[in-house]
Amino acid sequence: MYYLIESTLKECTAKECHSSKKQQYVAILTPEEWQNERESFEMGIDMELDILEVHTTKAEVNYDSVTGTFALPDRKDMNADYKKFAFALDEKGIVFIDSGDTVQSIIKKVVATKKWRMPSLERFIYDFLEQIIHEDLMLLEGYERELDAIDKDIDNDKDADLERVNDIRGFLRDLRTHYDHLIDLSQEFEENENNFFKQDNIRFFRLFSNRVSRLFDTVNALLDYTSQIRDTYESRLGVKQNRIMTVLTVVTAIFMPLTLIVGWYGMNFKYMPELNSVFGYPAVIIVSVLIVVGSLIFFKLKKWL
């Protein structure tokens, strides 16, 4: 797919893309198409852009071009594989090398939502990057509401889904790394070492960096929140365990004197006067009841129950 950057992206042929002298272009190629056509873009790239070797989001400045890769976590499925593609750009335009449809779906959103009074490659790149994080604030707000609900369940002594907290925490850590890489990428563009970008348009990259930095801070705050929830849960669990141990300790303390009585009168010595007494059995029962009641009153006064 080939586009010319006008008031919006206008689809064109490969010939129109290469022959245009005034308008910058956007191209989307498969890895095979890139291998066959890269010489026609005259970017002087000797390196191989292998989609299979993409591990992170980054940009590298070359003599005649800027190359790089994107590795995007799937916002809809935190356990899904990253969406990966590469790019190469110079002052004439940008080429995306994508074996899937990730770039095409992002560009469709740009075409559907953006119209430019002063079209430029810088503005397109900004809008492209903005589409990557477009719904992230809503996503993070959704995670915050979900964590709030789990936190309330813990406060109300309900069963809390700690596995979900761990899943969210893991995805937030991935997002934090992703945002860090996006900031580095944008700052690399802002540096404009090869003067591919107009100085007046560098502000777009600065604007994007600031926005991602705010998302980065939000993710850090949510990560702290997940740690707080886990600490609260462990604290509540500790309180419950202490209550159980208190009850067991009280029960043990109450039955220790009764156990002593059982052991004492279980010896069956021949000259134990209580064994032949008519009141021996009732007396032991009354003493046992008094011990239990007295122990309960004592523990209540000490606020151990």
The per-residue pLDDT for range 173-215, each reduced to its tens digit, is 999 999 999 999 999 998 888 888 888 889 999 999 999 999 9
Q: What is the pLDDT of residues 17-40, one digit of tens each?
A: 878 778 888 999 988 888 888 787
**Percent over 90 (pLDDT), the chain:** 26
Q: Is the pLDDT of residue 47 over 60?
A: no
Residues 111, 113, 115, 120: what is their CA dihedral angle, to the nearest 10 degrees? -60
CA distances 287 to 135, 273, 277, 290, 301, Å, are 73, 17, 15, 5, 21
Domains parsed from the chain with CATH numbers: 1-132 (3.30.460.20), 246-301 (1.20.58)
Question: How confident is the model at residue 304, as a pLDDT?
Answer: 67
Q: Given this model, what pLDDT does residue 75 score? A: 85
- 48 or 186: whose pLDDT is higher? 186
Predicted confidence (pLDDT) at residue 45 exceeds the cutoff of 70 = no
Residue 50, pLDDT above cutoff 70: no
As a whole number, the mean pLDDT across the chain is: 84
Confidence of residue 106 (pLDDT cuts 50, 70, 90): very high
Average pLDDT of the residues in 53-71 = 84
pLDDT digits (tens, 9 = 90+) for 247-287: 777 788 878 888 888 887 777 676 677 767 777 778 888 88
pTM: 0.77
pLDDT of 12 reads 85
**305 pLDDT exceeds 70?**
no
Reduced to 3 states (helix: H, G, I; strand: E, B; else coil), residue 100 is: coil
